Amino acid sequence: MNDPTVSIVLPTYNRAHLLSRAIDSIIAQTMKDWEIVLVDDGSIDETPDLAQDYERRLGERFVHVSQSNAGPGAARNHGIDRCRGRFVTFLDSDDEFLPTKLARQVELLERASELGLVYCDIAFVDLDGTRHESAFDEKTKLARAVPYEEIAPGFCVCRGSLFDWLIREYFVSTISGMVRRDVLGTDIRFPSDQSYAEEWLFYLRVARITPAGFVDEPLCLHHFTAGSLARTDRQANFGELRQLLLRIKAEFGDLNRTQRRVVHRNLATCTRQLAFDKYKSRNYASAAKYFTESFRCHRQWRTAVNAIQALCRARFNREETPVSESC
């Protein structure tokens, strides 16, 4: 069998009830030259049986990989290592591709051969079942600020480096990106020790070394799912985001002044929110620590006042007084 044009890496963990929808959305693509690399991250539900059924139906176009539970980043990395396609894209097991996702992104990559990364807009369904047609317009409006040249209807090539914009906020979701496999090489992978926003660092690593473009159309459908990792523990997610921002700061040591300022402001916002959460749970010592860290990242007098207030509570264990404001 010849190598496929596109490899779709699909990590899953105990999502047998949703997995068929994701896989069927790949089978329904207008472009048929693909392979699915399903990485079962230690599921204990019916996922293995379902995977075997698709393996029988799709043959060599379906690669089934199993691993002990190690998280989504490690699962995607395992999948990347098994890919044979010229291009690599990702689908989470609770989401789906719209029918022209592969065709449209591959067409842009072939029209503009200098591009190593192409992303797209996505539609999404919120928790109450309402469908929204553009994350660019409703969720990640910074995506609309990226300068670009439209080389054909809906096909946009970013002017300058996408990295300069992506460092401010992550608006390239895991499922929206498609990357040339040779750009990834053996080094660019997802951080396997992060369980929240890990795609931000991955796409920053890609955007750092290659030109990018985007298809200005929703080509994926993201489902907000109750119980997903992104929604189960707000405080833990802010903690993960703090670690990721510190990692970005350390990994990209040659950031210019503007980029460093952006990272520091994001760190300040994140640690300030962590501080409020700790304060509300009466963990005043930790609150003081995070308020102080936030102040060092971005010096605001109200944060300094909050730090002193939390420190006083920690030292004297006085009766709780509400903090002045929240992020």
Q: How many CA atoms lie within 13 A of 316 on its CB side?
A: 10
**pLDDT for 205-220, tens place per residue?**
999 999 999 999 999 9
Enter the DSSP assignment of 3: P
Give 235's contacts (C-beta < 8 A, 6+ positions apart).
274, 277
Mean per-residue pLDDT over the chain, rounded: 93
Top-level class of domain 233-316:
mainly alpha
Angle between helices 234-251 and 257-280 (to 10 degrees): 160
What is the rounded distance in angstroms from the CA atom of residue 167 to the CA atom of residue 204? 7
What is the average per-residue pLDDT within 95-99? 98
pLDDT of residue 190: 97
Query: How confident is residue 327, by pLDDT bands cut at 50, 70 and 90?
Result: very low
**pLDDT for 242-287, tens place per residue?**
999 999 999 999 999 999 999 999 999 999 999 999 999 999 999 9
Residue 318 has pLDDT above 60, yes or no: no
β-strands 6-12, 34-40: how paired?
Answer: parallel
pLDDT of residue 323: 54
Residue type, 10: L
On whether the CB atoms of residues 122 and 172 are closer than 8 A, the answer is no
What is the average per-residue pLDDT within 80-108? 98
What is the average per-residue pLDDT within 14-22? 97
Enter the DSSP assignment of 113: T
pLDDT of residue 182: 97
Residue 322 has pLDDT above 80, yes or no: no
CATH for 6-231 is 3.90.550.10
SS3 2: coil
- SS3 annotation, 253-269: CCCCHHHHHHHHHHHHH
β-strands 117-125, 178-180: how paired?
Answer: antiparallel
What is the rounded distance in angstroms from the CA atom of residue 199 to the CA atom of residue 222? 15
pLDDT of residue 22: 98
What is the rounded distance in angstroms from the CA atom of residue 248 to the CA atom of residue 101? 30
Domain ranges of the chain: 6-231, 233-316
pLDDT of residue 325: 47
pLDDT of residue 180: 98
On whether the CB atoms of residues 118 and 214 are closer than 8 A, the answer is yes
pLDDT of residue 319: 46
pLDDT of residue 270: 95
**pLDDT for 228-243, tens place per residue?**
555 456 788 999 999 9
